[in-house]
């Protein structure tokens, strides 16, 4: 009595496993989200030279370095020769966090500054407006549909 069965070797997991696809590696790993905080990679070095100006400006803005203990999955990527011992630095970038309230306040500040600049440019431009030759002519056209009768 012969059965039509596959050999045991043909049923192995390797033959039924999906083909894996190559994906482009990320430049920097993404930290685990933390409630109430935003994360950013802050530049500590540029072309191999330490950049204290940028680092101190970010620290004054409210960014604080993330301790390696709080993101243990990223510690494997950290630079062992880092100037910031106990923190996560990769390729001249230091992982930092800031409270989300600060980010909202920062966004509101820069939105107001941008809106003020746009308004100043508009006001300056419109001062040159003359009724005899307006800078903007409101061309409104309307489309009307006929009744369909000839």
Nearest to 43 by CA among 94, 78, 81: 94
Residues 6+ apart with CB under 8 A from 99: 36, 37, 38, 62
| pTM of the predicted model as reported, rounded to 2 decimal places | 0.62
**pLDDT score at 74:** 75
Which tokens hold the place of 41? Answer: 């990679």
Main-chain phi, psi angles of 142, to 5 degrees: -130, 150
Residues 6+ apart with CB under 8 A from 143: none
**pLDDT score at 86:** 83
Which tokens hold the place of 38? Answer: 């935003």
Cα separation, 30 vs 66, in Å, equals: 13
Q: Could you identify the residue written with the tokens 């903007």?
A: 136
Ordered per-residue pLDDT tens for the chain, 150 residues: 556 666 665 555 555 667 788 877 777 888 888 899 999 999 998 888 899 999 999 999 999 999 888 887 776 766 777 788 888 888 889 999 999 999 999 999 999 999 999 888 888 877 777 777 666 666 677 777 777 666
Q: Say if residues 88 and 32 touch (Cβ distance below 8 Å).
A: no
**pLDDT score at 27:** 77
Q: Say if residues 92 and 44 touch (Cβ distance below 8 Å).
A: yes
Collapsing DSSP to helix, strand or coil, 74 comes out as helix
Q: Say if residues 113 and 121 touch (Cβ distance below 8 Å).
A: no
Per-domain residue ranges of the chain: 32-99
């Amino acid at each position: 009595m012969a059965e039509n069965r596959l050999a045991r070797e043909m049923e192995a997991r390797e033959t039924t496993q999906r083909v894996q696809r190559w994906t482009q590696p990320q430049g920097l790993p993404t930290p685990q989200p933390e409630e109430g905080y935003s994360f950013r990679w802050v530049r500590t070095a540029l072309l191999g030279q330490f950049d204290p100006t940028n680092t101190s400006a970010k620290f004054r803005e409210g960014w604080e370095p993330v301790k390696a203990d709080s993101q243990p999955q990223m510690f494997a990527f950290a630079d062992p020769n880092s100037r910031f011992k106990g923190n996560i630095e990769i390729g001249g970038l230091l992982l930092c966090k800031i409270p989300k309230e600060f980010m909202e306040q920062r966004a509101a500040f820069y939105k107001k500054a941008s809106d003020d600049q746009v308004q100043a440019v508009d006001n300056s431009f419109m001062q040159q407006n003359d009724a005899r030759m307006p800078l903007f002519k409101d061309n409104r056209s309307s489309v009307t549909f006929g009744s369909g009768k000839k």
